[in-house]
Amino acid sequence: MYIALKTLVYFVVINCVYAVLQPTPLIAQLTVYHSLVAPRARFSLYNDSGNAVGVIQLDEMFATHEISSPPQPDEFRVGMFGPSSIWGFGVNWDNTVTACINKQQARMPDGRRIHAFNLAMPLPSVIRDLMLMHRAVNYHLDAMYWFIGGVGIFRPHTFIASPVITANPNDLYAILDRYPIRLPAGQTLPDRQPSFLDRTLIGERDVLATWLQDQLAGIRLAQSNQDFGPLLDLHYNPNPRDEDNLFFLDRHWSQGEVGPDDFALDAVNAGNDLAKDAGVPLTILDEPMWISPPGLYKIRYNPYYPRWYFDLLNQSLDQAAKVNHWNFYHWYNALDNAYFTDSPFHFTSEGACILANKLIPLIQQGQKS
């Protein structure tokens, strides 16, 4: 009985001390990456897939990523943000858009070597992208490129798609407190500060377990050189079907239910303002997608987007870009249909490199006047 009571007291004391000291950010910096193994070239997946681990704490995500390596004098450091297509869903880390850019060893007019950093994540969310940008500008970036799509910018979906948002309330409120962003109707925000119980060793057990898994994943990655599995060796080819039975996002939205205010253009503009505040030029592009060939779909561009929706989105983006002076390009048709895998948005390795070869001249010319 005495031993059990003594153990209980120690357990309570240790948890209380942990809650007061809050060592989790320090633990996140203790990593096998950058020392025993090379840093990650992209963030890990949310869900287990082969060697991927679900890391959603920004401290750990950036500590293990190559962007936290010291900048080199000859580098022109480019941050690439966006959804799973830019992250490289279905291909290994060395066949993504950023990897293809880096393989080219291209240089800026002043001689600096272009080093692209993959700061995209699966599951689209412009709010999540803003949080990543807010962190990334502290890592000596010279330029940022942000790919946005019609799902991540749709206001009802700007929050719910990404667990990174709720896992990092300090970063979320750093954005919401500084930039005017209208929240989706009925959106529940995380508490600004976690409860005392959430800060204890018990409350953060999942975070610590994920940290350990991520270190082990780094060792496996060093051995296999593969951070995604199985790789998707296929080409997107949807079967013709009744278009009226296809749902848009989570339900069958109709043309009269969606207007320009349903696009989180204020969040995109916040990214533009964030970049200006940090003194890092930002270029905004819409996400390349598979577009239905003649005869397959009549009222849709692809199974995700009715024509009325995507046309309205393009018009809204053009208007917002003009009013707010964004450096914006339409790239939704930048890739042929042959270069998509399991969805209208995920690129093959060949498609990623084609896109990279189109991006390099854009990076070299810098912001348009």
- CA distances 305 to 109, 150, 152, 298, Å, are 39, 8, 13, 12
Q: What is the pLDDT of residue 160?
A: 65
- Whether the per-residue pLDDT at 327 is higher than 60: the answer is yes
Contact 287, 125 (CB under 8 A): no
CA nearest neighbour of 112 among 134, 143, 68: 143
- Whether the per-residue pLDDT at 159 is higher than 50: the answer is yes
Which tokens is 44 given? 């890990």
pLDDT, mean of residues 254-260: 86
Q: Which CATH architecture has domain 58-190+234-365?
A: 3-Layer(aba) Sandwich (3.40)
- Whether the per-residue pLDDT at 333 is higher than 80: the answer is yes
**Between 162 and 144, where is the model more confident?**
144
Average pLDDT of every residue of the chain: 87
Please name the residue that has the structure tokens 């502290």.
138
Q: What is the pLDDT of residue 50?
A: 47
pLDDT tens digits for range 131-143: 999 999 999 999 9
Contact 330, 283 (CB under 8 A): no
pLDDT tens digits for range 235-248: 898 877 767 666 66
pLDDT tens digits for range 194-213: 776 677 767 677 888 888 88
What order do you get walking across the sheet with 75-81 strand by strand? 113-118, 75-81, 143-148, 282-286, 328-329
pLDDT tens digits for range 45-88: 754 444 455 788 999 999 999 999 999 999 999 999 999 999 99
